[in-house]
Amino acid sequence: MHDTVTFWLSHAWLGTHVEPGVALDVADGRIAGVRTGVDAPPPGATVLRGLTLPGLANTHSHAFHRALRSTVQVGSGTFWTWRELMYQVSARLTPESYYDLARAVYAEMALAGITSVGEFHYLHHAPGGAPYSNPNAMGEALIAAADAAGIRITLLDTAYLAAGFGQGAGQYQQPDQHQLRFSDTTAEAWAERASLLKGTGHTLIGAAVHSVRAVPAGQLATVAAWAEERQAPLHVHLSEQVAENEACQAAHGCSPTRLLADHGVLGARTTGVHNTHLSAADIALLGASATGTCMCPTTERDLADGIGPAVALQRAGSPLSLGSDSHAVIDLFEEARAMELNERLRTQTRGHWTAAALLRAATVDGHAALGRPDAGTLEPGALADFTTVALDSVRTAGPAPRLAAEAAVFAASAADVRHTVVAGRHIVRDGQHALVEDVPAALASAISALHG
């Protein structure tokens, strides 16, 4: 016999519509029952006023990039000049300081309604490239940080072996001084280290190929096989930059997408991150293989990457998810609406995705991309992960309750999140994090420690 707890939701998003008066029964971390037409809170129920959504999935994160917020908004440049600043911060991180930073960042995510993060993790080794005595000290610091912040993590342990394509056929450049921390030298060595990582209830272990620049083509299949053996998610940065496409074309005579397809990287457990500069043939390859697309619109616009063909990708068969990536902001509502609004600017037409479709990317399809097909809905049997958005804030007040999803997606911000529940545990209550007492102070101290 297990205890059942009940949450009463003034309004719930049930995937297609807003339902007023819903009681969610939760047992063993899962939704045990969904009762509609419950006009008043049952005795003993926890009351969640606002629009309760399934927990949001942040499908693409590099936690340490949070330390760059604002620092990188000074001056001009490109993705490549931004990357130099990012390397400077990465050089200072230790397992201890990374834990402090990531715990605060993941707490910021919980406050934004995010219940699960996909951490694309490549900062594996000590400065200079020597492994720590525990070779997964950095990855385990991230897992512990998510646990301390109360959210789920899919640690996408990333193979990052080279600095870029080299001059001759099949040649790659050695990692530079910053990238030595990222490199396991070979995909076999990467697989050996990644195999030591352990998943638990709140933690899943997945794999990532940093990019076709950073993993030699002849070693891609090793990473793909590792993920296949475990039926684990496999993520890859794909065609974020035109320069990557040009270098790949020069080195291999094909696009990055084609190269990944030829080495067995694409498939339904794979997610391409960004997928920005694609040809029609690339889109067809991604769609036909059911490879997912993680759009990171706030980062893509911040880095002046371009606007990816998300409409065409989805139409071709690529499910969409959303990530805050560099954490220029951490706000999945902003990511969702930015995907739609970018497309409006590009096409001069409106309404490419409904609020329901954008919420699907932010919830059920995002969780699936992180290896959790049992999350992202308010249905019996699903993980009891949900978040409540205020409908009485200055941003969201006014619209009729039946338009609450439109208010959430097109007007709310992360600051409107009132509650976040993970596995039935109330992590954020009335806008306050229950486990990390002062999240802004935790962010400030972790970040100032890195900037010295």
Active-site hit among 274, 277, 352, 419: 274
Residue 15 and residue 178: Cα distance in Å, rounded?
A: 44
Q: How far is the CB of 237 from Zn ion (least distance, A)?
A: 5
Nearer to Zn ion, 326 or 377 (CB): 326
| Positions 88 through 107 that interact with Zn ion (CB under 5 A) | none
Nearer to Zn ion, 235 or 269 (CB): 235
Q: Cα separations (Å) of 267 from 270, 290, 348, 351?
A: 5, 6, 33, 29
Nearer to Zn ion, 325 or 334 (CB): 325
Task: Map residues 309-348 to x or -, x wherever contact with Zn ion holds by CB under 5 A.
Answer: ----------------x-----------------------
DSSP category for residue 27: E
Q: Which residue is nearest to Zn ion (CB)?
A: 325
Rounded to 10 degrees, the C-alpha dihedral 149/300/237/375 comes to 40
Nearer to Zn ion, 184 or 325 (CB): 325
Q: How far is the CB of 63 from Zn ion (least distance, A)?
A: 11
Q: Give the interface size with Zn ion as a residue count (CB under 5 A).
A: 1
Q: How far is the CB of 38 from Zn ion (least distance, A)?
A: 42
Please say if 325 is a catalytic residue. Answer: yes
Please say if 274 is a catalytic residue. Answer: yes
Angle at 103 between CA 199 and CA 28, to 5 degrees: 50
Angle at 121 between CA 119 and CA 127, to 5 degrees: 145
Nearer to Zn ion, 305 or 325 (CB): 325
8 A C-beta contact, residue 328 and residue 297: no
CB under 8 Å to 39, separation ≥6 — which residues?
21
Q: How far is the CB of 367 from Zn ion (least distance, A)?
A: 19
Active-site hit among 184, 325, 331, 416: 325
DSSP letter string over 330-376?
--HHHHHHHHHHHHHHHHS---SS-HHHHHHHHTHHHHHHTT-TT-S
Residue 316 and residue 413: Cα distance in Å, rounded?
A: 31
Active site residues: 274, 325
Under the rule (CB under 5 A), what is the footprint of Zn ion? 325
